[in-house]
Amino acid sequence: MRRLSLISFVPFISLARLTSSLFIAFYLITSLPRVFYPYDLDFIEDSMLMQSIRIADGQPVFVAPNAEFMPHVYMPLYSFIGGMLIKVMGASFVPMRLLSFGATLITAILIFVIAQRETQEKWIGFACAALFLGGYRITGFWYELARVDSLFVMLLMIGMMIGLRAQSAPRLLAAAAVMTLAFFTKQTAVVFAGALALYLFFNIRWRVCWFVIPFGALVGITILILNAMTDGWFWYHTFTIAGGDPIELGRVINYVFVDVLWSMGGLSAILIVALSRVHAGGLCFVLPRFQSLAHWLVAIFAAFIVSGVGRSSVGGNVNNLMPVYAFLCLSPMVFVGAKHASPLRTAFIASAVILQFILGAYNPLRYIPTPTMRESGDRLVKRIAATNGEVLVMMHPYYAMLAGKQPSAQIAALWYGRARGTTSLPDDFVKRIQNHYYSMIISDESLFEIEDTELQSLLSANYVKTMIIDESESPPAPVGMLVQPKVIYVPKK
């Protein structure tokens, strides 16, 4: 009877494997052309690239807001690695996208290794890894873009993989080192470090100092050095400005019920059913059935908090969902536990996995850059190159650089670094506009431009709109907030 019941559930596993393979193929088909697309797919890519180019050229990054450059609020590790790659491969999006693409694939491999090792079920490991790649649409199509998120998630996964089972001093020191790297990729890694420290304290008591003290020392000393080297601007950009985004209750509710319980419904269902088997008084830390996998619940909880903070902050886009989605992909492993799953539990897991893939379904052809997009970017670069004098491309400084012009600070980064446009524009930027330094200004008419009253007043007093840019010269940056060049300003005579 047991053999018959096992055979009867084989189609569920086969369908889950087939769907997993399909979504891995979807990701590779979609992402590889995007890696080698020469223009920005997300406007933040543009400013991140300019930041890494400055590092490659040996120029300072954390500086006072000025007309030439404005850094992002992200920590410097991703930009530093990008700068080193640019030194070798040349200035383009490709080196930084390859970094993110590689980090994404490594994260998928890590998820496979973790899930297969803990459950001794290869199909579970394969499904968990494929689920991560299958979350491409749910997390906003950011996996391989020139942004910090993929590297951040990879380092978190490595850090928790090392730290959650750490007993010896060398392993704890290694976890501290990796978590430090994660912190200098994105500040919210401190939540993971805190959750890991708390878990380790309950399990190994004061040996946790081998993790806490090195992590605190590495982070604290590095911050002090960077702050001293930049006359305080490092702290201003990465903490004062980065910490200024308020959290809205409506966004919290949307995060919990729409992002997690709905968009990640298959994975959330698996985790909720697994947790429902834990009695209220004997949390998973002491129940033998859950003892071997309790630590991954700590990681999932930390990811839930980190993604919630990012997504619930004003302006928090869906890229913030990457940590919680990545760690939720381990939910099938947590549900199975260290023992082989019964046929009924196997059917439930496979069904939930398939459901999650359905929730994340997309048409790859819609998200691959088209020849028309590439041609419109080429034409815009030619127009800029043909213009006498300097050109300010407010949202895409890399276009100016490609055309042989001097790139300027991206207006979105400048807006954000001015506490969301509430402080004054830099004096040198104002003088450039007043003195007609730019022969042409290209605007996307994004909210960063049209809602900045000081910028609009400055432009209207010194420049005039001359034309609407034709679609054939207006390459879109479709990921996240859609922007594309729309109007041209020239100096008033």
CB 462 within 8 A of CB 392: no
Dihedral of CA atoms 415, 419, 420, 425 in degrees, nearest 10, equals -40
> With 0-12 CB in 10 A as exposed, 13-18 as middle and 19+ as buried, what is 301?
middle
Backbone angles phi, psi at 74, to 5 degrees: -75, 155
Beta-sheet pairing, 487-491 with 463-468 = antiparallel
Residue 465: its H or E element:
strand 463-468
Predicted local distance difference test score (pLDDT) of residue 384: 97
Kindly report the pTM of this predicted structure: 0.94
Predicted local distance difference test score (pLDDT) of residue 13: 86
Three-state secondary structure call for residue 169? helix
Distance of alpha carbon 310 from its chain centroid, rounded? 10
* pLDDT tens digit sequence for 348-400: 999 999 999 999 999 999 999 999 999 999 999 999 999 999 999 999 999 99
Predicted local distance difference test score (pLDDT) of residue 277: 67
CB 115 within 8 A of CB 333: yes
Per-position DSSP letters for 36-97, written without gaps between them: T-SS-SSHHHHHHHHHHHHHHTT--SS----SS----SS-SHHHHHHHHHHHHH-SSHHHHH
Predicted local distance difference test score (pLDDT) of residue 243: 85
Predicted local distance difference test score (pLDDT) of residue 335: 87
Predicted local distance difference test score (pLDDT) of residue 290: 42
Low-confidence ranges of the chain (pLDDT < 50): 1-7, 279-291
**What gap in Å lies between CA 417 and CA 411, rounded to an integer?**
10
Predicted local distance difference test score (pLDDT) of residue 9: 54
Predicted local distance difference test score (pLDDT) of residue 341: 63
CB atoms within 10 A of CB 368: 15
Rounded to 5°, the CA angle 414-417-418 comes to: 85
CB atoms within 10 A of CB 242: 19
Number of helical H runs and strand E runs in the chain: 24, 4
Tally the C-alpha atoms within 13 A of residue 148's C-alpha that lie toward its C-beta: 25
CB 51 within 8 A of CB 397: no
Number of residues written out for the chain? 493
Taking alpha carbons only, the member of 202, 201, 199, 207 closest to residue 167 is 207
Distance of alpha carbon 207 from its chain centroid, rounded? 33
